[in-house]
Chains A and B, each alone.
Chain A
Amino acid sequence: MDGLLLVLWVARLLFLLLLYVFLYRVVRTLLRDLRAAAREPTATLGRLVVVASPGSEPPAGHVFALQAITTLGRDVNNSIVVDDPFASTEHAVLTSRDGTWYIEDLGSTNGSHVNGQAVNGVATIGFGDELQIGQVRFRLERPRV
């Protein structure tokens, strides 16, 4: 066979092969990335980030992983203890249903506020919204996947 034709034939197949080498390397990186994400302990429903807190409990910057029913208040039996003089013993409860979060004020003295609006009864709360309990401000964030 002609030498040039042979080289051409090899170059042609090598080009295709290199495309797949590239794809293989990419997919390997993607898989490693996915496995690393799966190993991380995740809150599957959402996270509550403390934006500002005048007291020590909860500390500002702390991130709470949320369960489907998360209670907030000054009492130590709450899922998230809000040690603030303006928070009630059983202040509010966050519940998740079908991927949507709801906030319910449990008849607290000073009320719960979403983005500065007082909550009457049950209200939806979206990711990125800000929740204020007493003087403590939280932000609801999407779960890390």
Chain B
Amino acid sequence: MTVGTTPVRSVGSAQRGRAGSFGPIRPHWRWVEMRLLLIAALALVVGSISLSGALTGGLTLYDAQTLLTYLAALAAGHVALVLAGRRADQILLPVMGLLGGISLLLMQRLPQDLVTQHWFDMSVGLAQVQLVWLVLGITITSILGIVVRSDSWLRRYKYTWAAAGVGLLLLTFVLGAEVNGQRLTLQVGPFSGQPSEFLKVILVVFLAGYLSENRSLLMEQDTRLGPLRLPPFPYLAPMVVMWAIALGIVVIQRDLGAALLFFGVFLAMVYVATGRVSLVVIGLVLFVLGSLLMANLFDHVRQRIDVWLDPFADPLGAGYQVVQGLHAFARGGLFGTGLGAGLPTIGGRIPIPEVHTDFPLAALGEELGIIGILAILGLYLVLVERGLRIGAAAADDFRALLAVGLALVVGIQAFIIAAGNLKVLPLTGVTLPFISYGGSSILANSIVVGLLLALSDKGVEPPPRPSSGGRWQRLRQRDSI
């Protein structure tokens, strides 16, 4: 019942903590993480030997330098986290590391001329470029996991973040380069990237802020619509706006995947915040209605849906990619052909177009079989579980929603593209987190894992005192009478 500290000292230490002094930094061993990283490294070494045996006939590491660089980066990330001494989650880094390692093995195995970048007079192929992104990703994750000790920079400026996100979206609408009929890539000087990958992180931050502030209002049931009881009408407006933005992305950017991802994450977070199924049902009905309308109005949407329903109607034309993907899964069978032994080439090229970005799961399905695919899906499941646990242990609503949203954005994205490859959903061009080739995707997902690491620390700064006298609080008072 009694606590030793006097109230005055207790308050004082809380304020000192807020002022930014964290006390001495003591290293804290992370045995679980170390053991898991060792198993992951062993698996990757065996995978590399298997790859080398199939491609060159020699039982050594395939392109040892690339793999060893990657493993060294993982080890460095681990050591940095140990030295920083924070009690952050120990599962996230190994899982991300294993997924990235599988990606590296796949990229080494694919034809290297799928991507060529020219850096300082050097011509760099697919695996080398991917290696650079993966190492950068591990660096970002470790730095975020060590440095971020307060979430107020996300919490306070949520409307600023939202404005930045909308600005990024508009910039892509206007300046974006068109690739394969989709306007997704933004090129600024020598850098090009897919803004939608970063947009998803911004969306989660904004939604966590908005929903945690207005949770109690969204839970009231004022408006009636037939059998459904809805929250007060003004607070439904953001839902309608979200829906419009999602459909806008489909129309202007022709990016079905991002629209599906954004709207899915939005519905999931609304459900987590309010626990009300009716809101999710309304959202889904709206989305299906919108999609049907789109399918009737726009050719590119209808084509995707036709291909999904029957890819074999035009196996050499529109359905080519999906059909080749399905064949790859079929050739893989239960145990797969082994790394490097599958994916026959036609004229030096893998038959599946865009295999490194859109269809990595099909390539892995052929070489690792359904057993390997299930393990990879299991890894994504573990990432989501960690996020949900971190959310459940959080001190306040903002952190809980942020952690859950960050985990779900990775999980839902993995689901959308895996389902697209397996013909469960229409194929959409989102990336498979940590496995697909692509800098934006890997960096954005690394930011997600880094934030989760930071949020999982029990010693993280307590939530700031909510500001008083905001508009929403006056509404709260008025409604409560």
Q: Identify the A interface with B (CB < 8 A).
A: 4, 7-9, 11-16, 18-23, 25-27, 29-30, 33-34, 37, 51-55, 59-62, 98-100, 114-117, 119-124, 126-130, 139, 141-142, 144-145
Contacts and interface: CB of A to CB of B under 8 A. Distances in A.
Interface stretch (B259-267, B291-299, B418-426, B466-474): B466-474
A23 B468 contact: no
B126 to A, nearest CB: 21
B180 interface: no
Given A15-B46, A25-B39, A128 B212 contact: yes
B397 A123 contact: no
A122 B481 CA distance: 7
A33 B395 CA distance: 18
B408 to A, nearest CB: 17
Given A30-B91, A120-B481, A141-B395, A18 B39 contact: yes
B375 A19 contact: yes
Given A13-B335, A15-B46, A59 B7 contact: yes
A76 B68 CA distance: 67
Interface stretch (B51-59, B127-135, B197-205, B223-231): B51-59
A98 B468 CA distance: 25
Given A4-B53, A18-B43, A117 B375 contact: no
Given A8-B54, A115-B466, 12 more contacts: A11-B50, A23-B375, A30-B385, A52-B11, A55-B7, A98-B219, A115-B469, A126-B216, A128-B212, A141-B396, A142-B400, A145-B392
Contacts of A98: 219, 275
A116 B392 CA distance: 28
A19 B372 contact: yes
A123 B392 contact: no
Nearest to B478: A120
Given A26-B91, A142-B396, A123 B476 contact: yes
A144 B391 CA distance: 10
Contact of B465 (A37, A55, A130): A130
A36 to B, nearest CB: 12
A128 B50 contact: no
Given A30-B91, A30-B385, A62-B3, A115 B215 contact: no
B465 A115 contact: yes
Interface size class of B (residues with CB under 8 A): 35 or more
A26 B92 CA distance: 10
17 contacts: A8-B338, A11-B59, A12-B50, A12-B335, A14-B50, A15-B50, A26-B95, A29-B36, A37-B393, A52-B11, A61-B3, A61-B10, A115-B465, A115-B468, A115-B473, A126-B216, A141-B395
Contacts of A33: 389
Contact of B11 (A19, A34, A60, A116): A60
Contacts of A99: 219, 275
A61 to B, nearest CB: 5
Contacts of B90: 29
B468 A12 contact: no
A54 B140 CA distance: 44
Contact of A14 (B2, B46, B395): B46
A16 to B, nearest CB: 5
Interface string B25-47: 00000001001100110110011
B46 A18 contact: yes
Chain B residues touching A, majority SS: helix
B397 A142 contact: yes
B466 A129 contact: yes
A4 B2 CA distance: 71
Contact of B382 (A30, A60, A119, A141): A30
A8 B43 contact: no
Contacts of A144: 393
Contacts of A141: 395-396
A8 B52 CA distance: 9
A8 B50 contact: yes
Nearest to B386: A30
A48 to B, nearest CB: 12
B91 A18 contact: no
B394 interface: yes
B474 to A, nearest CB: 8
Given A29-B91, A117-B477, A52 B50 contact: no
Contact of B375 (A9, A20, A55): A20
B5 interface: yes
A117 B2 contact: no
Q: Which of A122, A127, A128 has the most CB of B within 10 A?
A: A128
A120 B36 contact: no
Q: Which of B7, B375, B466 has the most CB of A within 10 A?
A: B7
B43 to A, nearest CB: 4
Contacts of A15: 43, 46-47, 50, 339, 368
A20 B382 CA distance: 13
B398 interface: yes
A116 B43 contact: no
B216 A124 contact: yes
Interface in B74-122: 90-91, 94-95, 98
B7 A60 contact: yes
Contacts of A12: 50, 335-336, 338-339, 341
Which 6 residue pairs are nearest across A and B when measured between Cβ atoms?
A128-B396, A116-B468, A18-B43, A60-B7, A12-B338, A145-B392
Contacts of A4: 53, 57, 59
Q: Which of A18, A22, A53, A130 has the most CB of B within 10 A?
A: A22
B50 to A, nearest CB: 4
Nearest to B464: A128
A142 to B, nearest CB: 6
